[in-house]
Each structure stands twice: as C-alpha cells, then as structure tokens.
Amino acid sequence: MLNFDFYSPTRVLFGMGRHREIGALAAQRAKKVLLHYGGGSVKRSGVYGEIASSLEENGVQFAELGGVVPNPRLSLVRKGVELCLSEGVDLILAVGGGSVIDSAKAIAMGACHKEDVWDFFEGKLKDLSALPLAVVLTIPAAGSESSPVTVISNEEKKLKEGYRSDALRPFVSIVNPELFFTLPEDQIANGVADMMSHVFERYFTDTAKTDLTDGLCEAALRTIIKNAPVLMDDRRDYDAWAEIAFSATLAHNGLLGMGRKEDWASHRIEHQLSAVYDIAHGAGLAVIAPFWMKYVYGDNVGMFAQFAMNVMGAAPSRDIEGLALEGIGRLRRFFSSLGLPSTLRDLGIGSGDFEFMAKNATGAARGSEKPLGGLKKLLWQDVVEIYRLAQ
C-alpha cells in the first residue's frame, strides 16, 4: 500500500425528498446563489420549481443560468462567471449531473479570479479560492458531486481538459434517487459505464498489497452490475437507483483509490473522442475501457484474473491468462446487454483522427509528451493502437 491522504469533506444528503432541504442549506452560506442547470428537463420534472420554492422560503435570492450540455463548454462557463460578478452571487448551486456540476465548478473558480478561467486548465493558474458549491444531483454517474475535479471542453481549441482542487469539492451534495426515475435508457447505460470506469481507473494497478481497496472496488462494481439490469427493466425502481447512485458517489470521492497507483489512461483516451466527435463520455468509455484492458492486461494478469472471478463471476481456474480474457469478455457482454456500443464503428467514428487524438491525449501534439496511465505507460503510438483495436 502506498502512502495516501484521504479527504472527502462533502456532506452527502441521500434519500427520498431530500432536495427540498436545499434552501435551508444554502441559507447558511449565501444571500444569492447562481442556479445552474442543463436543458428543460429540470423544469418539466418539477425539480426546478421545488428548488426555487425552497430557496425563496429560506430567503435566498437567485440568478439562473441554464443550457449546460454534455461535455460542458467553456463559453457557457465564461458567461456564468460574468453573471456571478454582475449579480453578486456568493454560492453556485448545480442542479444536474456531471456536466452541470463540472460547469458550476469552473464558474466557481472563475468568479474569484480576474484571469480567464481557461488558464487553470492550461496549467497557467493554480489557486485555491473558489465560491462555495452545492449540488442537487439529477443524473448519477460522473461522481462530480463529491470529487475535486472539473472537466471542461474548449470548443474553439477542440480540447477537453481537467482541473483538480480541494476548493472544488461541494460543501453539500443532495442525492435523491427519485429524481432519476425519468432518465432515458441510454443515459442510464452511459452513466453505468462511466461510474464503472471510475472504479476501473483505480482498481487496475500494479501496487501490491491492496486488500481493502481491492475489496471496496469489487463491492462497488458488483453492486452496479447487479442493479443496472433492474433499472433497464424498471426505471422507477427506487432501491436499484439508490444502490447505483451511492456506488457512483463512492466511486469518485477518492476512497477507492487510496494507497494505490491510479491509471486514468482510458479516461484520457476517451476524452479525445468526446472532444472531437462530441459523443457521450460513458458511451465512449464503454468502447475504450475493454480495449484498453486487452492492450494492458499482460502487465498485471493476476489483477485481471482477480477481476474476472471477484467481479464478473468467472469460475476459478489455473489458466490465469484465460481468466483475464474471460473477465474482459464478460464485461463487454455486460455493456452490450445494456445497449452500449462495443466498437468505434458503433459510435460512427472512423480512423481519420486516430493520430491527432492520440497526440493530443499524450501531449505529443504540444511537443511535451507525457505517457498516459499507471499500470502501463502509454505513448501516442500505444494510444493509436488502442483506437485501432476498438475499431
């Protein structure tokens, strides 16, 4: 086990009806909030109205900014920053999923600095101040509700970049599974692939002696695999949503990676697909993660065999390599059973941008290549190879 710091101060309020507590919570920290959301679904579902009432009842004023899209855009972030300054906002309230939360985090940083907010993502700025953030989750998947990370797409530069700071951890996140009942099937499936990938990036490691976190990762993965098909049959199954949503939060609050070398190559490889083709992050991961596994499993075949047995239900065998491949095969079939894409072709992506994306992923495009990954170090040529396998 490696040395680690565990810090996850976000207060998670979980359960039925709890989004109506947001007004009282916001009132402890703010006079005026920016209510940040995506499309019209929060208005149609009535969640927007309930949150607005809760804020009003608690004497909290709000400005609002909707329009966040998947792979949230820098242009809207900049608009949000201006709005915070002109309206005197002192708290950002994200009502949505990972994209809305990530957009809110970027606004929270931008509103405390004169410099352009993209400077953070380019590594030119590093500072700990940000407006406080609260979250009412409406799509469980990204785990951004208790993570210190934001990922933003710069549409002009065709880049998708992340930034990490403890100041970006929401002080409170409300997770009410009832709010997920109306999510469409493809969004549920994409979310499942995303949350599972958050575990994979921590689980597949070459760090030795990681009994506890191995077990925690496996418990989260088994819980997701058990409950996702229940939702495919009945999108209004509260308990299945509760298991999935709690797993998604845990998958990304940091705990599952403590003491382990993490990987994150699959995410970096997928981010390029989303940036160039604007596909759903989870759908991209469902394709990339298994092919990344096929490309790297030889670097720790025992870990992949353990995955096959402890997560994917493969029977024990002395054929460790066979087990490892069986686990990956079972994972691909599980993703397919949820209606997720299996190949880049399924996503309508051809081979034309492989080199461009691979060089952006590793930084080779900027002349400063940094190999991706923890378990196996990947240069841009390796990334091209993974894209090719995934065709």
CA distances from 103 to 93, 94, 153, 157, 361 (A): 11, 8, 10, 17, 21
State the nearest-atom distance from the C-beta of 145 to its own copies, in Å.
11
With respect to its own copies, which residue has the nearer C-beta, 50 or 270? 50
Q: For 62, left (φ over 0), alpha (ψ -120 to 50), or beta?
A: beta
Please select the residue that binds its own copies; options are 67, 223, 299, 371, rule is CB under 8 A.
223
With respect to its own copies, which residue has the nearer C-beta, 216 or 287? 216
2 interacts with its own copies by CB under 8 A:
yes
Interactions with its own copies, residue window 257-276 (CB under 8 A): 258-259
Element (H, E) at 154: strand 149-154
Rounded-to-integer distance, Cα 93 and Cα 64, Å: 9
| Segment interacting with its own copies (CB under 8 A) among 116-124, 241-249, 319-327, 375-383 | 241-249
With respect to its own copies, which residue has the nearer C-beta, 46 or 215? 215
32 interacts with its own copies by CB under 8 A:
no
Taking CB under 8 A as the rule, which mask of x and - marks residues 4-23 in contact with its own copies? xxxxxx-xxxxxx-x-----
With respect to its own copies, which residue has the nearer C-beta, 221 or 296? 221
363 interacts with its own copies by CB under 8 A:
no
Burial of 366 (0-12, 13-18, 19+ CB in 10 A): exposed
Rounded-to-integer distance, Cα 180 and Cα 172, Å: 19
Cα torsion through 6, 136, 103, 162, rounded to 10 = 20
219 interacts with its own copies by CB under 8 A:
yes
316 interacts with its own copies by CB under 8 A:
no
Spatial CB neighbours of 181, under 8 Å, sequence gap ≥ 6: 235, 236, 241
218 interacts with its own copies by CB under 8 A:
yes
1 interacts with its own copies by CB under 8 A:
yes
In 196-328, which ranges are E strands? Answer: none
Burial of 9 (0-12, 13-18, 19+ CB in 10 A): exposed
318 interacts with its own copies by CB under 8 A:
no
Please select the residue that binds its own copies; options are 247, 272, 274, 360, rule is CB under 8 A.
247
Please select the residue that binds its own copies; options are 44, 124, 226, 370, rule is CB under 8 A.
226
Rounded-to-integer distance, Cα 269 and Cα 284, Å: 9
Rounded-to-integer distance, Cα 204 and Cα 120, Å: 29
Please select the residue that binds its own copies; options are 193, 220, 364, 378, rule is CB under 8 A.
220
Which position has the token pair 């495009």? 365
Q: Which two tokens stand for residue 313?
A: 């239900």
Please select the residue that binds its own copies; options are 68, 188, 246, 342, rule is CB under 8 A.
246
Give the binding-site size for its own copies (rule: CB under 8 A). Answer: 40
CA pseudo-torsion sign 272, 264, 331, 241: negative
With respect to its own copies, which residue has the nearer C-beta, 225 or 293? 225
**What residues form DSSP beta bridges with 154?**
159
Please select the residue that binds its own copies; options are 211, 315, 318, 352, rule is CB under 8 A.
211
311 touches 327 (CB < 8 A):
yes
With respect to its own copies, which residue has the nearer C-beta, 174 or 378? 174
Positions touching its own copies (CB under 8 A) are 1-9, 11-16, 18, 208-209, 211-216, 218-220, 222-223, 226-227, 239, 242-243, 246-247, 250, 255, 258-259
